[in-house]
Amino acid sequence: MKSTILGLATLLCCSCYGQQWMTRNGNVDFFSATFAENIEAKNEMASGILATDGQFAFRVPILGFRFEKALMEEHFNENYLESTKFPNGSFEGSIVNWNMELNDGAWHEVVARGELTIHGIAIPREIPSKIQWNGEAWQIQSEFLIATADHEIPIPKMVRKKIAEEISVEVNLSLSPR
């Protein structure tokens, strides 16, 4: 969490070097599909900032995920993600092929490279994404997989067949000028 706050603070302090865009209500959804059960959750509380050089920092409060069943949400927060101990997930880094010519109104394929931190475990990742400047804000979309083992998320043997080893994540953000 300290690194997330430090990353956001660093980007905020660099505002004298150029324009920044931010969000406080980005969408992050995940889906776990197994033959026994599908688990889906939605979070509309992602926050983040993007600088003119392509540097970014995003944070997702784990307690912000909403499930269809209250018991799933409880198990997710207490047993798996341990949200009181690890309250946020984060992704900090830069857009590899960033340039301001991406603001032509078209969707562009980009790669976000950085550290994805979930359950207190930071993993270097390259995540394919799409980005578009719509004249008012940067739209960012991304779909990727997260392996529960990579982030040492404990899955009890009793429910292993109900939770996928890889969780599908979908991100939709709209970052407006700061």
Q: What does the domain layout of the chain look like in residue ranges?
A: 2-11+21-177
CATH classification for the domain delimited by 2-11+21-177, as one of 2.40.128.110, 2.40.30.10, 3.40.50.2300, 3.30.360.10:
2.40.128.110
User: Residue 71 pLDDT more than 70?
Assistant: yes
User: Residue 9 pLDDT more than 60?
Assistant: no
User: Residue 16 pLDDT more than 50?
Assistant: no
Q: Which of 48-57, 75-84, 154-163, 168-177 has the lowest mean pLDDT?
A: 154-163
Which three-class secondary structure string do you get for 26-94?
EEEEEEEECCCCEEEEEEEEEEEEEECCCEEEEEEEHHHCEECCHHHHHHHHHHHCCCCCCCEEEEEEE
The helix (H) or strand (E) run that includes residue 22 is strand 20-33
Contact 29, 41 (CB under 8 A): yes
User: Residue 17 pLDDT more than 80?
Assistant: no
- Token representation of residue 53: 């050089």
Reported pTM: 0.87
Which of 142, 146, 143, 175 has its CA nearest to residue 55? 175
Distance CA 60, CA 64 (A): 8
Per-residue burial over 62-89, b = 16 or more CB atoms within 10 Å of its CB, e = otherwise: bebbebeeeebeebbbeebbbbeebbbb
